[in-house]
Amino acid sequence: MSDSAPGEEQLRQSVRERYGGVAKNAGAGCCGSTDAGCGCAPSGSSSPDARTGGCCSGYSATDLASIPEGADLGLGCGNPTRLVTLRPGQVVLDLGSGAGVDCFVAAGQVGPSGRVIGVDMTPEMITRSRALARSAGRANVEFRLGEIEHLPVADASVDVVLSNCVINLAPDKSQVYREAFRVLRPGGELAVADVLATRPIPEEVRNDPAGWASCSSGALTRDEVTERLRAAGFDSIDVTVHSAETPTSSLQAQAEIGVVSADIRAAKPGRVRP
């Protein structure tokens, strides 16, 4: 069961070039473009502490105060750290960590006794996130260059895997989920904010590099994600798809092909660590 398609390497290179440019230009908007959007729910949250800037709500004032300036490039489609309870001392891995926003939020929750690892395939993002970690003195955060289909992380070494609007960009999502399962300890959790398709995406749209890199044409359906998670070995799978009945103008292109934001939770069977 592979998600690979003709032009896989071209799709990956398109993503790398797009986000390399975002890292250099520091904040071009959701998924790297103010006119492409990221498929997230409208940002007009009624929560008094929800993030009001950028594309997506979900970050509290406390979250935003805990991150170095320049770490939030507005590329996400949710806040995966809110989908799981992080505890002091845990090891957390972020797939496609970008400039590090979710890594820095998680680092504040796991504390000095914990550790957060961010993996990103874009050298410019790694350079940026490492510089932010050094300047902010965040000793419990590290960033590694690598593809999320081939994680530079040891087996069964992580308590929680996070990801924010990135897995949709991977050509082989089944391999991403297998890798996440491999690095998790028994009882470990997966918490993902991503975009999903509410209906099948036409093949010509699916294979468009620009559409893929803008977090739209690479999206899977809810059933497809569930199937891949189950095949990778996960249980306790919960996929919540958010409505996009009244998308903002920045989300219109994705809404037209039925792509919306979603929260994805799953767990690796086994003993839960205290």
* pLDDT one digit per residue (tens) for the chain, 274 residues: 445 444 777 788 888 888 888 888 865 444 444 333 444 433 333 333 333 333 455 788 888 888 999 898 888 889 999 999 999 999 999 999 999 999 999 999 999 999 999 999 999 999 999 999 999 999 999 999 999 999 999 999 999 999 999 999 999 999 999 999 999 999 999 999 999 999 888 888 887 888 888 888 889 999 999 999 999 999 999 999 987 554 444 455 676 788 988 999 999 999 765 5
CA distances from 270 to 16, 75, 155, 235 (A): 36, 33, 15, 10
Bridge partner residues of 161 (DSSP): 93, 190
Beta-carbon contacts of 201 under 8 Å, excluding residues fewer than 6 positions away, are: 217, 219, 257, 258, 259
pLDDT at site 254: 72
Spell out a b/e string for 29-40, using b for 16 or more CB atoms within 10 Å of the CB, else e.
Answer: bbbbbeebbbbb
Work out the end-to-end distance of the chain between its first and last CA atoms, rounded to an integer number of angstroms.
35
The model's pTM is: 0.86
Mean predicted lDDT score pLDDT of the chain: 84
Backbone angles phi, psi at 186, to 5 degrees: -55, 130
Summarize the chain as % helix, strand, coil (round to 5).
35, 20, 45
At 194, list the tokens.
């991503």
Hey, how many other C-beta atoms are within 10 angstroms of the C-beta on 16? Answer: 19
As assigned by CATH, the class of the 8-267 domain is: alpha beta
pLDDT digits (tens, 9 = 90+) for 148-161: 999 999 999 999 99
Burial of 237 (0-12, 13-18, 19+ CB in 10 A): middle
